[in-house]
Each structure stands twice: as structure tokens, then as C-alpha cells.
């Protein structure tokens, strides 16, 4: 099995919105769990508007997609919303093929995703 760089998730606030900037492969195993834990942490701390930036993710699989779906559903139940930032490429293609892009709005830029909350 190839050795991959560990996933890095930077969490910051942009006004009332929690922004998670994800770098690394979002695939089955530790990286999907790491993203889930980071998202769960911001929700546990009261975040209801969350943006996940996937531009630094070269690959996503069903496990990564499942993590995004679970968090989106949880946020919706708690009166919150999840938005994705994902430019053209393999990850956007995966989100389109799985029709996730229809369930969780995805934007080309962080500024467009943040403007969607206004």
C-alpha cells in the first residue's frame, strides 16, 4: 500500500461560519474519521453554518462522501447548513456522479459559499 501524506484540516471562523480547509486524500479509514471528528467538534461547539473547502483534496471515496452526508443531515436536524467549496476536478466529478452536489450545495470559491449564507 502506498504511503500518503497525513490529512490536514485547518478550522477557522469567518464571522458566524465555521470553515474547514481540508488537505489530503479523503478516503476510507483515518482521513474520513479525522474529518468527521473535526466537523463533529465544530458542531458540538455550537456551529450551525459550516463550509468545507475540498480544493486541497485530490481524491474522495464513498467513505469521505458518507462523512459529508452524515454531517449534513445532522446539521439540518439541528437547524444548520453545510456548504462545500470544490473547484473542477476529480473530487467535483465524484460529487456530481454520486449526485451529492444536488443535496449539499457546492461552490467554486469560499467567498461564493459564504455569500450563500447571507
- pLDDT tens across 57-66, in order? 999 999 999 9
Sheet holding 106-107, edge to edge: 8-14, 17-23, 49-56, 81-85, 106-107
Nearest to 27 by CA among 35, 17, 37, 15: 35
Say whether domain 11-115 belongs to CATH 3.30.750.24: yes
Would you list the domain boundaries of the chain? 11-115
Q: Is 3's pLDDT higher than 70?
A: no
Q: Is 2's pLDDT higher than 70?
A: no
pLDDT at residue 1, as a whole number: 41
- pLDDT tens across 28-70, in order? 999 999 999 999 999 999 999 999 999 999 999 999 999 999 9
Q: Is 88's pLDDT higher than 70?
A: yes
**Pseudo-torsion of CA 44, 47, 53, 56, nearest 10°?**
-30
Nearest to 55 by CA among 84, 14, 29: 84
The CA-based diameter of the chain, rounded to the nearest angstrom, is 45
| Helical residues (DSSP H) of 1-118, grouped into ranges | 30-44, 62-77, 90-97, 100-103, 110-115
pLDDT band at 118 (very low <50, low <70, confident <90, very high): confident
The pTM of the whole model exceeds 0.85: yes
Amino acid at each position: 500500500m502506498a504511503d500518503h501524506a497525513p490529512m490536514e484540516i485547518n478550522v477557522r471562523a469567518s464571522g458566524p461560519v465555521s470553515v474547514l480547509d481540508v488537505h489530503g486524500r479523503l478516503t476510507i479509514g483515518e482521513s474520513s474519521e479525522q474529518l468527521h471528528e473535526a466537523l463533529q467538534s465544530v458542531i458540538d461547539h455550537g456551529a450551525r453554518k459550516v463550509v468545507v473547502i475540498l480544493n486541497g483534496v485530490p481524491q474522495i471515496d464513498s467513505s469521505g462522501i458518507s462523512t459529508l452526508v452524515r454531517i449534513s443531515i445532522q446539521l439540518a436536524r439541528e437547524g444548520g447548513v453545510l456548504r462545500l467549496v470544490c473547484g473542477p476536478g476529480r473530487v467535483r466529478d465524484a460529487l456530481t456522479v454520486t449526485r451529492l452536489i444536488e443535496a449539499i450545495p457546492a461552490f467554486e470559491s469560499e467567498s461564493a459559499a459564504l455569500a450563500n449564507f447571507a
